[in-house]
Amino acid sequence: MKTFSIKVDPLTNEEYWEVYLRGQQLLSDAMLNKASAFTEEERLSLEMSGLLRTGVSSLDLQVERSLENFRRKPDDIEKFIFLQGLLNRNEVLFFKLLQDNLTEMVPIVYTPTVGQACLQLSHITRRYRGIYLSPDNIANVDQIFQSISLPSVNLIVVTDGERILGLGDLGSDGMGIPVGKVTLYVAADGLHPACCLPMTLDVGTNNKRLLEDPLYLGWRHPRLEGDEYWEFIEKFVLGVKRNFPEALVQWEDFAKHKAFTLLERYRDRILSFDDDIQGTGAVALAALTTAMRIKKARFADQRFLIAGVGQAGVGIGMNIRAQLKAEGLTDAEIRQRVFAVDQPGLLMEDTEGLSRWQKLFVQDRAAVAGWKLKSPDRIDLADVVLNGKPTVLIGVTAQTGLFSHELLSSMTAYEKQPIVLALSNPTSKCECTAEDVAKATNGCGLIAAGSPFADIQWGDRVLVTSQCNNLYVFPGVGLGALVAKTPKVTHAMFLAASRALSAMVTPEQEAKGYLLPAMEDIRAVSRVVAKAVAVEARESGLGRLLDDRKYEELIANAQWEPKYTPYRPGKIIS
């Protein structure tokens, strides 16, 4: 049932919301609740007289009160619970608080704290958000979608909970990720919360801890696999196409063997992308592009080592390959510059069990014939550093401390200014810390990390570690694709996003070690990325034929600012 509609007064041109709820129902609706900010006229016309204390607060006063309460909380998980409670009570207030305090609160509403929250979600859930589809209700997908109270659905962030961050299979407790990503779309991008929908495909879990936990709230069965799984996915996609034909679907935290299939199978059928593959690849490429400017070097001058060849590793590797090809290198020359290490060690042409995507990064046996190895049976990370002499080290393994002091310092023997992207999150899974890199390279290394690290005082310099967070890319890509009305999101659009993102880092920031813009500039970043994506869509024949200035205008107009809109009572819908 729709709870409100967005209207414009034909006489005054005032935008208002026509509201179909009254009294306590209205106060219980997070999208509509203004709490102490309801005006006296609204309290009277919407049957709330006597339900609120007399004082009328401004939104700014409510933010001040909420920030005071937030900072009283003793630890990050309690702060997460407080913010989720606020989101469930008053969405406008929540997003205003978050937008005004992004640097402080993004690590709470998303990584690293969201990982800790997902591990405990069935134990800390106060109120459900979003939509849960399971084998028990997928047959009713149309009825479920049609009952959603939002006035429109333009964005769906969906997971099946099988690979949550670096934490593995968390079943429906993985819903913290879609909720967090939707939060970031609104805070960073400005999409209106009334058009964003987090979803979980609750197809079971193989996590024994969850299956044996009496408090676990998900579908208590082993995961669907094979044809049953793909039939479930197809029913979900067809339901989206029937009910939300213009919505963007962001695939989030699926296992790698399913994520690539989802991307290939559906990217031309529905407007969609995989953030773990494409978003991670794009933001990492932007960080590397900035690093090349700082070093006054080309990609072709570097040697890259990617540790972890799952979704993120493949996405990053494909973008590095694209950039090397753009600089004129052949496939054979690219192979000599990109090394990929996974569980079997260095990926070789005869390594068994590799996916089609991983095979893009294999080495010939002849290329390593003269290498000095600790063991003839396996070429590990240290062997590749010793023999391949990489100048760029990228980690997406979720293996804490994988990049040891010895490993990092050995790179300085042949490269004064190595680049290290330690991208696993949450922080507890990071391959190394910013301080590790600074100590091993005498403050010369360039680093970006998947989780936030504090600045480091190094002599008379302050070393900044950029958080290589997909937040810099996916909201702008989504907004640009929606504004351009493109039927699909292409690889070229992500490359355009990378270029635009890197170009925003100023020379002054580069001098401090920034590889990405400051988090405080995230709204401007989203506008710039969205325009780059929309223009690329237009130039490739997929987007609307609007000039650059018109796209800038539409994108700016699409960025919602958290504020209270006037309410007028509408006819109550029974």
Active site residue 110: yes
For 339, other C-beta atoms within 10 Å of its C-beta total 26
Distance CA 481, CA 486 (A): 6
Residue 246: HSE in the Cβ half-sphere, 13 Å Cα cutoff = 11
Q: Is 563 annotated in the active site?
A: no
Decide: 253 and 114 in contact? Cβ < 8 Å. no
Radius of gyration, CA atoms only, the chain: 24
* Sheet with strand 567-569: strands edge to edge: 4-8, 15-19, 567-569
Which entry of 20, 96, 110, 216 is annotated as an active-site residue? 110
Q: Whole-angstrom Cα distance, residue 149 to residue 91? A: 15
Number of H helices and number of E strands within the chain?
Answer: 24, 17
Alpha-carbon distance values, 317 to 144, 164, 335, 502 (Å): 39, 21, 11, 18
Token representation of residue 175: 């819903």
Query: Exposed e or buried b for every residue in 445-463, given b needs 16+ CB within 10 A?
Result: bbbbbbbbbeebeeeeeeb
Burial of 68 (0-12, 13-18, 19+ CB in 10 A): exposed
Q: How far is Cα 127 from Cα 234, in angstroms, rounded to an integer?
A: 29
Query: Residue 477 is encoded by which pair of tokens?
Result: 């890509």
- Which is catalytic among the residues 34, 79, 96, 181? 181
How far is 138 from 143, CA to CA, in rounded Å? 10
The answer to whether 277 and 263 are in contact (CB under 8 A) is yes
Beta bridge partners of 404: none
* Closest to 480 (Cα-Cα) out of 422, 539, 440: 539
Q: Do the beta carbons of residue 312 and residue 280 sit within 8 Å? A: yes
How far is residue 95 from each of residues 4, 37, 141, 153, 522, measured CA to CA in Å? 19, 15, 29, 18, 14
Which of the residues are catalytic? 110, 181
